[in-house]
A and B are shown apart, each in its own frame.
Chain A
Amino acid sequence: MKKLLAVVLCLMLALSVCGVAGAEAGFDGELKIWVAEAVVDFTNAQVEAFKAANPEYANMTVVIEAVGEGDAATNMITDVEAGADIYGFAQDQLARLVAAGALIELSEENAAIVSAENDGGSVAAATLGDLVYAYPLTSDNGYFLYYDKSVVTDPTNVEAILADCEKAGKNFYMEINSGWYQTAFFFGAGCTIEYGVDNEGNLVSCTCDYASENGVKALKSMIELSKSPAFVNGSSASNATNIGAIVDGTWDAVAMQEILGENYAATKLPTISGYQMGGFGGFKLLGVKPQVDDAKLAACDALALFLASGDAQKARYEAVQWGPSNLEAQKLEAIQDNAALAALAAQLEFCVGQGQYPNDYWSLATTLGDQIIADAYDNATDDELLAVLQNFQDTAASYIVK
């Protein structure tokens, strides 16, 4: 076995030497791409189009495997070497991937193209420090409100929605124990939580003002919401059985149409306690992993740019209804008419592009949400709530020292 290892190692060395020697024009080795199952066929077609358009890459072998965005990030971090050369992921994983050495920054030319062609939020989400690390694919990873037209008469404020749901014996779903959905309250009430990240993906600073009057306002509205009998924690359509309204994203649009049928409707998030709910804007990105071979790197760059281009994004919308981040593609008529995407676009104006957060932040936020659901703060005074938020804020800041 040890001998075998030695042989393998030697072979790898030899291969990398050959690779350097055969650099420059084109690339005819193998490339591996990971995308979500839904877009495997679509990506295959795009790759063929890419090869047709770029004869120098016509002999390249491209292997496309179905790996969901969440798994892709985890797998890349487990083993960069065996991972895909190009892969799709959700932007919250960016810093983790960069820190693990699983992403290479874009070349200056590509970075310029990407920055010019995509909406500002998506570019910001793909940027760490002053380097762009990924190609935005979609601008649809945010959340908004789906509701049943026959139940909810006034979708503009939570109080009315809850009253309607209670009356009809239906539920209002929102996953308030998730650091992602929770920001709808805090950001809406005027708070921020943000981590500064350097070029390497390391967290260097934390800006958080949850321990404030606004923070208490947000927390109190969450507590109020959790007290309603119609409220159910959760934001996944396929787990919800009795939907009056649900805060969810475009990935559930098809399921929601199926569940609500002709009563299907979508809109921006409502107001709560008098303020408009905010939240995170989310994006899907395409990344390239660091390469030891210039030719392969060039091929990856070219292919990734192609797959994230405006034309590809338009085609992707037509194939699987993923909302584009490309400014040109966003003007597509079909996209303007899509209820879910329109709702998302309307919500986007109240959203903050999701930056980088340490894993601990998510579990800290879940802890807060779980405590609210567990009725721990139901009778708390403002001062006590402020203390809870102060603790939250201090803990969030303490992740920097680590």
Chain B
Amino acid sequence: MTDLDYLKMSKGEKLVHNAGKWIASLPKKLLNSICAIAMFFVNLVKKFIAEIKDIVMTFVHGDWKTRVSFFIMGFGSFARGQWLRGLLFLLFQTVFNMYILFFGGAYLAKFATLGTIATTKVNRKTVYGDNSFMILLYGILTIFFIIAFIYTWRANVRQNKISQEILKSGKKLKYAKDDIASLADSQFHKTLLALPTLGIFTFTVLPIIFMILVAFTNYDATHQPPGKLFTWVGFDNFKTLFSSGSANYGDAFGQVLLWTLIWAFFATFLNYFLGMLVAIMINKKGIKLKKMWRTILVMTIAIPQFVSLLYVSKLFAADGLINSLLLKWGWIKEALPFWTKPSWARVTVIAVNIWIGIPYLMLIATGILMNIPADLYESARIDGANAVQTYGKITLPYMLFVTGPYLLTSFIGNINNFNVIYLLTQGKPDTLGNAAGATDLLITWLYSLTVDNSNFKIAACIGIIVFVVCAIINLVVYNLIPSVKNEEDFQ
């Protein structure tokens, strides 16, 4: 196919063509990425060997200060007058040793089995045995700590080598005063990022790794610490999750996953187009009180969702105000099953979500619409385009072009939109079995499995699935977006 053929195609055809090309190139890409991963490991091994070599050479060529530093971290820095660095190294080593000795070591030792001593009773007094939960959690923490220690120890060794070389070449070392000063300047990023990174590590990375590992254990209602032990079971939970049959989760899982994607689709695109439409209407010349309309719509953003959504959920209930009034006026004979019939409930949550979601899109679209160059519209008008054509040729492509990445994040966000579903329906009606309801997203199902059913192992598996789904969507879209971008290019 020539470039000319490509240029002749309509937008839809181009998209299909590009998508097809992308899918056709998948095997090659896959191969490439496998090669890349292999290369990565080869390089890693090479790097590792180089590091070891460097460490050994540092020891061999090092003076006594350097050599002592291999065992007492920071010694060399102290001996060379860099007391701040020395102190930090030494402090870290002390804390690390204490930690392993008094706390982490015991947990790490049991990490492979997650504990073997069962809880027993002496008369009626309870004597607790191993706590698998703590062993898992602090085992991971200890591994983190060990990795951090190795890294710091390596830095300590390198520090000695560098200092030794600097001194040999007759230059001056950096002392405490320089170090502190640099934290506000050349090393300012360390000051800025130290606490946030520590926070993310402790309160996000550690718990996530913990829960990923839980997916490979039998941690559930009948294996709950501190009274009971749990242990590693390999991929059993994933088998349960994917197989169908009443004792398994496969049927419910498939339906929840499908609904999650349908929901995310509507919640994202319906809101997107309606929000844009509202923005265009309000921005249309000749419409007065623009600010007032916007302010009214924005109310749903301003009022905390737990107030507005809880209220709305009661409003639509079988005996809520809407049904009661309709019945009283004789418009209906029987309460409308807003939350009780699966199909109704699904439509209702999407509708209520429009109520919540349009204002965001309206605000975003308003900002963007004002940035569309006025001369584009001018030339369209001269060409005799009507409103619909202007919209299709200019407004929509421009919006899509500018907000492409936003649509992606918003789609991912809707897959994880806990609040709207939980506050409105809590996932009900429960028609799918396995504690899953017709309006349950993967994330709300995960929540009820955790909180109401103590089924941590399956919940952890679902969490991993959510990640995989999000990652796949991200990868696919990122791979497609460049082509979309080229195509929509305005220049």
Q: Which residues in A have some Cβ–Cβ distance to B below 8 Å?
A: 1-3, 5-6, 9-10, 74, 77-78, 80-81, 96, 99-102, 104-105, 107, 171, 173, 177, 202, 229, 232-234, 239-242, 290-294, 297, 359-360, 363-364, 366-367, 370-371, 373-374, 394-395, 398-399, 401-402
Q: Which residues in B have some Cβ–Cβ distance to A below 8 Å?
A: 95, 98-99, 102-104, 119, 123-128, 141, 145, 202, 221-222, 224, 226-228, 245-247, 314, 317-321, 324, 327-328, 333-335, 337, 340-342, 428-436, 451-454
Chain B residues in 8 Å Cβ range of A290: 126, 227
- Separation of A282 and B141 alpha carbons in the complex (Å): 45
Instruction: Report yes or no: B95 in contact with A2, Cβ–Cβ below 8 A.
Output: yes
Instruction: Report yes or no: B319 in contact with A291, Cβ–Cβ below 8 A.
Output: no
- Separation of A364 and B437 alpha carbons in the complex (Å): 11
Instruction: Report yes or no: B433 in contact with A80, Cβ–Cβ below 8 A.
Output: no
**Closest residue on chain A to residue B224 by CB atoms:** A100
Q: How far is the CB of B98 from chain A (nearest CB, A)?
A: 7
Chain A residues in 8 Å Cβ range of B334: 229
**Closest residue on chain B to residue A242 by CB atoms:** B324
Instruction: Report yes or no: B222 in contact with A2, Cβ–Cβ below 8 A.
Output: no
**Closest residue on chain A to residue B449 by CB atoms:** A359
Instruction: Report yes or no: B228 in contact with A363, Cβ–Cβ below 8 A.
Output: no
- Separation of A270 and B154 alpha carbons in the complex (Å): 80
**A-B Cβ contacts below 8 A, count:** 133
Instruction: Report yes or no: B102 in contact with A234, Cβ–Cβ below 8 A.
Output: no
Instruction: Report yes or no: B433 in contact with A202, Cβ–Cβ below 8 A.
Output: no
Contact of B103 among A9, A80, A104 (CB under 8 A): A9
Instruction: Report yes or no: A292 in contact with B340, Cβ–Cβ below 8 A.
Output: no
Chain A residues in 8 Å Cβ range of B104: 2
Chain B residues in 8 Å Cβ range of A80: 226-227
**Closest residue on chain B to residue A294 by CB atoms:** B125
Q: How far is the CB of A371 from chain B (nearest CB, A)?
A: 7
Instruction: Report yes or no: A373 in contact with B430, Cβ–Cβ below 8 A.
Output: no
- Separation of A260 and B328 alpha carbons in the complex (Å): 18
Instruction: Report yes or no: A363 in contact with B246, Cβ–Cβ below 8 A.
Output: no
**Closest residue on chain A to residue B435 by CB atoms:** A363
- Separation of A239 and B431 alpha carbons in the complex (Å): 22
Contact of A363 among B127, B327, B433 (CB under 8 A): B433
Chain B residues in 8 Å Cβ range of A81: 226
- Separation of A294 and B246 alpha carbons in the complex (Å): 44
Chain A residues in 8 Å Cβ range of B124: 104-105, 107, 297
Instruction: Report yes or no: B429 in contact with A177, Cβ–Cβ below 8 A.
Output: yes
- Separation of A104 and B321 alpha carbons in the complex (Å): 46
Chain B residues in 8 Å Cβ range of A202: 222
Instruction: Report yes or no: A99 in contact with B324, Cβ–Cβ below 8 A.
Output: no
Q: How far is the CB of A235 from chain B (nearest CB, A)?
A: 11
- Separation of A96 and B451 alpha carbons in the complex (Å): 12
**Closest residue on chain A to residue B223 by CB atoms:** A99
Instruction: Report yes or no: B125 in contact with A239, Cβ–Cβ below 8 A.
Output: no
Contact of A177 among B119, B317, B324, B340 (CB under 8 A): B340
Do A234 and B319 contact each other (CB < 8 Å), given the known contacts A6-B103, A292-B128?
A: yes
Chain B residues in 8 Å Cβ range of A363: 430, 433-436
Chain B residues in 8 Å Cβ range of A96: 221, 454
Instruction: Report yes or no: B247 in contact with A402, Cβ–Cβ below 8 A.
Output: yes
- Separation of A371 and B343 alpha carbons in the complex (Å): 12
Chain A residues in 8 Å Cβ range of B314: 239
**Closest residue on chain A to residue B333 by CB atoms:** A229
- Separation of A6 and B451 alpha carbons in the complex (Å): 29
- Separation of A297 and B431 alpha carbons in the complex (Å): 44
4 nearest CB pairs, A to B: A101-B227, A290-B126, A366-B430, A370-B429
Instruction: Report yes or no: A370 in contact with B433, Cβ–Cβ below 8 A.
Output: no
Chain B residues in 8 Å Cβ range of A374: 337, 340-342, 429, 431
Instruction: Report yes or no: A6 in contact with B102, Cβ–Cβ below 8 A.
Output: yes
Contact of A373 among B125, B246, B337 (CB under 8 A): B337
Chain B residues in 8 Å Cβ range of A102: 227
Contact of A359 among B317, B324, B432, B453 (CB under 8 A): B453
Given contacts A359-B452, A363-B435, A373-B340, 10 further A-B contacts (CB under 8 A): A99-B221, A229-B333, A233-B340, A239-B314, A241-B320, A241-B324, A359-B221, A360-B435, A364-B433, A367-B431
Chain B residues in 8 Å Cβ range of A2: 95, 99, 103-104, 141, 145
Chain B residues in 8 Å Cβ range of A6: 98-99, 102-103
- Separation of A74 and B222 alpha carbons in the complex (Å): 15
Chain A residues in 8 Å Cβ range of B324: 241-242
Instruction: Report yes or no: A99 in contact with B226, Cβ–Cβ below 8 A.
Output: no
**Closest residue on chain B to residue A366 by CB atoms:** B430
Q: How far is the CB of A206 from chain B (nearest CB, A)?
A: 12
Task: From A234, A239, A359, name the one whose CB has the most chain B CB atoms within 10 angstroms.
Answer: A359
- Separation of A102 and B222 alpha carbons in the complex (Å): 12
- Separation of A294 and B126 alpha carbons in the complex (Å): 9
Instruction: Report yes or no: A101 in contact with B228, Cβ–Cβ below 8 A.
Output: yes
Instruction: Report yes or no: A173 in contact with B319, Cβ–Cβ below 8 A.
Output: yes
Q: How far is the CB of B59 from chain A (nearest CB, A)?
A: 30
Q: How far is the CB of A299 from chain B (nearest CB, A)?
A: 13
Instruction: Report yes or no: A3 in contact with B319, Cβ–Cβ below 8 A.
Output: no
- Separation of A234 and B314 alpha carbons in the complex (Å): 13
- Separation of A364 and B430 alpha carbons in the complex (Å): 8
- Separation of A290 and B127 alpha carbons in the complex (Å): 9
Instruction: Report yes or no: B431 in contact with A370, Cβ–Cβ below 8 A.
Output: yes
Chain B residues in 8 Å Cβ range of A297: 124-125
Q: How far is the CB of B148 from chain A (nearest CB, A)?
A: 11
**Closest residue on chain B to residue A236 by CB atoms:** B319
- Separation of A394 and B433 alpha carbons in the complex (Å): 13
Q: List 29 A-B contacts (CB under 8 A).
A: A1-B202, A2-B104, A2-B141, A3-B95, A3-B99, A6-B98, A6-B99, A77-B221, A77-B454, A81-B226, A96-B454, A99-B224, A107-B124, A229-B333, A232-B318, A240-B319, A290-B126, A294-B125, A360-B433, A360-B435, A363-B434, A363-B436, A366-B428, A367-B433, A373-B340, A374-B337, A374-B341, A394-B246, A401-B247
Instruction: Report yes or no: A292 in contact with B319, Cβ–Cβ below 8 A.
Output: no
Chain A residues in 8 Å Cβ range of B224: 77, 99-101
- Separation of A99 and B454 alpha carbons in the complex (Å): 11
Q: How far is the CB of B312 from chain A (nearest CB, A)?
A: 15
Instruction: Report yes or no: A366 in contact with B434, Cβ–Cβ below 8 A.
Output: no
- Separation of A360 and B318 alpha carbons in the complex (Å): 25
Contact of A360 among B125, B320, B328, B434 (CB under 8 A): B434
Do A370 and B340 contact each other (CB < 8 Å), given the known contacts A100-B224, A234-B319?
A: yes
Chain A residues in 8 Å Cβ range of B428: 366
**Closest residue on chain B to residue A77 by CB atoms:** B454
Instruction: Report yes or no: A292 in contact with B126, Cβ–Cβ below 8 A.
Output: yes
- Separation of A81 and B228 alpha carbons in the complex (Å): 13
**Closest residue on chain A to residue B452 by CB atoms:** A359
- Separation of A102 and B247 alpha carbons in the complex (Å): 26
Q: How far is the CB of A165 from chain B (nearest CB, A)?
A: 12
- Separation of A6 and B227 alpha carbons in the complex (Å): 22
Instruction: Report yes or no: A371 in contact with B127, Cβ–Cβ below 8 A.
Output: no
Chain A residues in 8 Å Cβ range of B141: 2
Do A371 and B333 contact each other (CB < 8 Å), given the known contacts A234-B318, A297-B124?
A: no
- Separation of A99 and B189 alpha carbons in the complex (Å): 50
- Separation of A107 and B121 alpha carbons in the complex (Å): 13
Instruction: Report yes or no: B226 in contact with A101, Cβ–Cβ below 8 A.
Output: yes
Q: How far is the CB of A246 from chain B (nearest CB, A)?
A: 10
- Separation of A75 and B125 alpha carbons in the complex (Å): 22
Instruction: Report yes or no: A371 in contact with B125, Cβ–Cβ below 8 A.
Output: no
- Separation of A395 and B99 alpha carbons in the complex (Å): 50
**Closest residue on chain B to residue A400 by CB atoms:** B247
- Separation of A373 and B431 alpha carbons in the complex (Å): 11
